Chains A and B, each alone.
Chain A
């Protein structure tokens, strides 16, 4: 930060001398949070990497086993299932919430009568705690619940099944409530981005004879680049850490059919008490999140440069 200040051309000599001596306040602002983060975030995170190389039950001291946990992971069918489910989750939950959120934002961006009500309605699920959301959806899915009643009303009773207890449907039955919540959130992010676009750009495009599709494709979307980065990070992180809704609806069951990496990590750590293996799963989740987000950021920066 000091570097940018010092390059401003006004009275360069005096500025440069001052910037050489760091203000103690500034140092404190940097070092205190860094120290706190180190103790509470960086150091435990590094320890997590170390634990992934150990076998540990949480009581006896951890024993070093090298890459055994990762070798085991390669042959673990439950882990592969959880990884696949996480990818499905990332694509469906991430993709649909971006499409849905962006669509809703486009529809609701214009100030019209009653638009505030619709925005609020779509945003309401975000306000509910996820546990409440899960309880509501559980009632929806329960045998002879609302879902079954609706299907019967339209004559589709042959489709009725135990939604959360059937391995064919459990994962998708959990994605739906997660989407129900996430779309409202993504919509708000996009609405903010859309509001920030200079109306003059649209006007100029219209003058040049661009139709509404062309304006969307060549004006709106490029202008949203900054928001896209935020949305992508939010989506990837939310997908990989999706845990509460799955745990409170199915706990990853029945027999691992809706297991995500996050729920598998939790049950490995705190039910099976295999904290070394659970740490290895945590490392994989971290690497996945980092890879997706870094990949996007690198591309975004390259385009800007």
Chain B
């Protein structure tokens, strides 16, 4: 999710458009259609080109190190292209459909990858998976397309949870809640102490609200229903979806009212400064946290609402897929095999700053208590979901942003909001 961060990176793509003006914009649209040209590197049996959206300084350096290591092994050569994340997102369809595409791409597992696979744009990497026999079944399923072949190689995943400062919870004399009732009681206690209990950051990063929707839905209706809903097989105006919002409404009075106006990075600052009690967020938020605060951070899993629903957690998985049109499938598979190996995954975890879990079960994650706890939480889960946009599509995400921010503002209008959501989702599914 850290890479789906419209706030900062979307600028790049957009400014170019803004200058084009009204008619110019339609020419921009058509330019995509008429000239599907991609980068022209990575031909034949030469270097494998890897197109990377990992553009934050640490992640970029980590990728550069991996590619340098691979090239030093002499099993092939690869060259890395790091692209600003938002440009990458908007250009990805163009890359994949161009006549001479780059070979390998960083991206997300799940329905986004499956959608490209259904258009025959992705390389079959089942060969690579033969050497990944010890990977958990959940990751294998996640990387398999509708026709049963593997099209994705996971690199790492991370988790979402309610993060808080241990020192603050101690100061307020409160404990981690396990159930929804305990959670609401905790909120009430914090409110009584004059602290806005639940931090959120919707200004500029409205997609953060989707975590609440995802979690409430997988806790109340379960992960299978959630996936079907996001795939367009269930309706947003279904009473089961309304039940999600009825629960959410119980917690709404405890949200930090300022959270509507600032992005999740500032919500992080507010949490660390003790201006909010806790914050439902993915581990990437720690990128914006000062190093000395990291040791004081802890988290608890989203409280259980219905114990009968199998436990599911959000664990967005990042990794790679390759173009079906690559001129060098052997080299591409060799690079993928290297990237999925223990050595590469450990090197990546060490060099990158984020709190991530390597996909390879033999690779050692960081041994900080936070990471150990996160890994245990995911291992305990019966089902893993990705995140709203990854389980559906980037196209469906804005419909959720509209519906959820409106609900937080006007919870009375929930029926109308869900009807609108269904209408706009249908438009996205219809294309």
Name A's B-contacting residues (CB within 8 A): 40-41, 44-45, 47-49, 51-52, 55-60, 62, 72, 77-78, 130-131, 141-144, 162-167, 237, 240-241, 243-244, 247-248, 251, 253-256, 262, 265-267, 269-275, 277-279, 282-283, 285-286, 288-289
Given contacts A165-B260, A240-B22, contact A51 B427 (CB under 8 A): no
Residues A48 and B29 in contact, CB atoms below 8 Å apart? yes
Top 6 nearest A-B pairs (CB, nearest first) are A48-B26, A44-B27, A47-B30, A162-B261, A285-B22, A282-B26
Residues A251 and B204 in contact, CB atoms below 8 Å apart? yes
Residues B398 and A142 in contact, CB atoms below 8 Å apart? no
Taking the complex as formed, is B262 at the interface, i.e. its CB lies under 8 A from any CB of chain A?
A: yes
* A286 to B24 Cα, complex, angstroms: 9
Q: A56-B33, A279-B26 are in contact. List 20 more A-B contacts (CB 8 A).
A: A41-B24, A44-B34, A47-B26, A48-B23, A48-B30, A51-B30, A55-B431, A59-B121, A62-B33, A131-B15, A163-B261, A241-B20, A254-B405, A255-B409, A266-B17, A273-B394, A273-B395, A277-B427, A279-B30, A285-B25
- Min CB distance B230 to A, Å, is 15
- Min CB distance A229 to B, Å, is 18
Given contacts A59-B119, A248-B11, contact A275 B17 (CB under 8 A): no
Given contacts A48-B27, A51-B26, A262-B22, contact A59 B402 (CB under 8 A): no
Enumerate chain A residues within 8 angstroms of B428, measured Cβ to Cβ: 272-274
Given contacts A48-B26, A48-B29, contact A143 B261 (CB under 8 A): yes
Given contacts A253-B401, A285-B22, contact A244 B29 (CB under 8 A): no
Residues A44 and B427 in contact, CB atoms below 8 Å apart? no
Residues B27 and A41 in contact, CB atoms below 8 Å apart? yes
- Min CB distance B36 to A, Å, is 9
Given contacts A267-B398, A282-B22, contact A44 B406 (CB under 8 A): no
Most buried by A among B10, B30, B420, B427: B30
* A41 to B119 Cα, complex, angstroms: 31
Enumerate chain A residues within 8 angstroms of B96, measured Cβ to Cβ: 59
Enumerate chain A residues within 8 angstroms of B246, measured Cβ to Cβ: none
Residues B398 and A45 in contact, CB atoms below 8 Å apart? no
Enumerate chain A residues within 8 angstroms of B427, measured Cβ to Cβ: 72, 272, 274, 277
Which residue in chain A gives the minimum CB-CB distance to B6?
A251
Which residue in chain A gives the minimum CB-CB distance to B116?
A59
Which residue in chain A gives the minimum CB-CB distance to B405?
A254
Given contacts A47-B33, A58-B32, A59-B97, contact A282 B25 (CB under 8 A): yes
Residues B405 and A265 in contact, CB atoms below 8 Å apart? no
Given contacts A47-B33, A131-B15, A244-B18, contact A274 B26 (CB under 8 A): no
Residues A253 and B33 in contact, CB atoms below 8 Å apart? no
Taking the complex as formed, is B397 at the interface, i.e. its CB lies under 8 A from any CB of chain A?
A: yes
Enumerate chain B residues within 8 angstroms of A248, measured Cβ to Cβ: 11, 14
Enumerate chain B residues within 8 angstroms of A270, measured Cβ to Cβ: 13, 90
Q: Show 15 residue pairs from A and B whose CB-CB distance is below 8 angstroms, ordered by the A residue.
A: A47-B34, A143-B258, A143-B261, A241-B18, A241-B22, A243-B14, A254-B409, A256-B402, A262-B22, A265-B25, A266-B14, A266-B17, A273-B428, A274-B431, A285-B22
Taking the complex as formed, is B202 at the interface, i.e. its CB lies under 8 A from any CB of chain A?
A: yes
Taking the complex as formed, is B21 at the interface, i.e. its CB lies under 8 A from any CB of chain A?
A: yes
Residues B258 and A162 in contact, CB atoms below 8 Å apart? yes
Given contacts A273-B395, A283-B26, contact A58 B33 (CB under 8 A): yes
Which of A59, A144, A255 is B93 in contact with, Cβ under 8 Å? A59
* A269 to B261 Cα, complex, angstroms: 26
Residues B398 and A165 in contact, CB atoms below 8 Å apart? no
Enumerate chain B residues within 8 angstroms of A49, measured Cβ to Cβ: 26
Taking the complex as formed, is B203 at the interface, i.e. its CB lies under 8 A from any CB of chain A?
A: yes
- CB 8 Å contact bits of B195-207 with A (1 = contact, 0 = none): 0000000111010
Enumerate chain B residues within 8 angstroms of A143, measured Cβ to Cβ: 258, 261-262
* A241 to B26 Cα, complex, angstroms: 12
Given contacts A44-B26, A255-B406, contact A57 B431 (CB under 8 A): yes
- CB 8 Å contact bits of B99-124 with A (1 = contact, 0 = none): 00000000000000000000101000
Enumerate chain A residues within 8 angstroms of B30, measured Cβ to Cβ: 44, 47-48, 51, 279
Residues A142 and B262 in contact, CB atoms below 8 Å apart? yes
* A273 to B24 Cα, complex, angstroms: 18
* A279 to B26 Cα, complex, angstroms: 6
Residues B22 and A286 in contact, CB atoms below 8 Å apart? yes
Residues B261 and A275 in contact, CB atoms below 8 Å apart? no
Taking the complex as formed, is B294 at the interface, i.e. its CB lies under 8 A from any CB of chain A?
A: no
Taking the complex as formed, is B288 at the interface, i.e. its CB lies under 8 A from any CB of chain A?
A: no
Residues B93 and A241 in contact, CB atoms below 8 Å apart? no
Given contacts A45-B23, A237-B21, contact A51 B29 (CB under 8 A): yes
Most buried by B among A51, A52, A248, A283: A248
Residues A244 and B402 in contact, CB atoms below 8 Å apart? no
Enumerate chain A residues within 8 angstroms of B32, measured Cβ to Cβ: 58, 275
- Min CB distance B373 to A, Å, is 32
Enumerate chain B residues within 8 angstroms of A240, measured Cβ to Cβ: 21-22
Cβ < 8 Å to A, chain B residues 396-428: 397-398, 401-403, 405-406, 409, 420, 424, 427-428
Enumerate chain A residues within 8 angstroms of B24, measured Cβ to Cβ: 41
Residues B261 and A165 in contact, CB atoms below 8 Å apart? yes
Residues B18 and A247 in contact, CB atoms below 8 Å apart? yes
Taking the complex as formed, is B31 at the interface, i.e. its CB lies under 8 A from any CB of chain A?
A: yes
- Min CB distance B85 to A, Å, is 14
Given contacts A143-B258, A163-B261, A165-B260, contact A45 B26 (CB under 8 A): yes
Residues B409 and A279 in contact, CB atoms below 8 Å apart? no
- Min CB distance A19 to B, Å, is 34
Residues B260 and A45 in contact, CB atoms below 8 Å apart? no
Enumerate chain B residues within 8 angstroms of A57, measured Cβ to Cβ: 93, 431
Which of A52, A58, A130, A162 is B260 in contact with, Cβ under 8 Å? A162
- Min CB distance B104 to A, Å, is 19
Which residue in chain A gives the minimum CB-CB distance to B11?
A131
- Min CB distance A268 to B, Å, is 9
Enumerate chain B residues within 8 angstroms of A255, measured Cβ to Cβ: 402-403, 405-406, 409
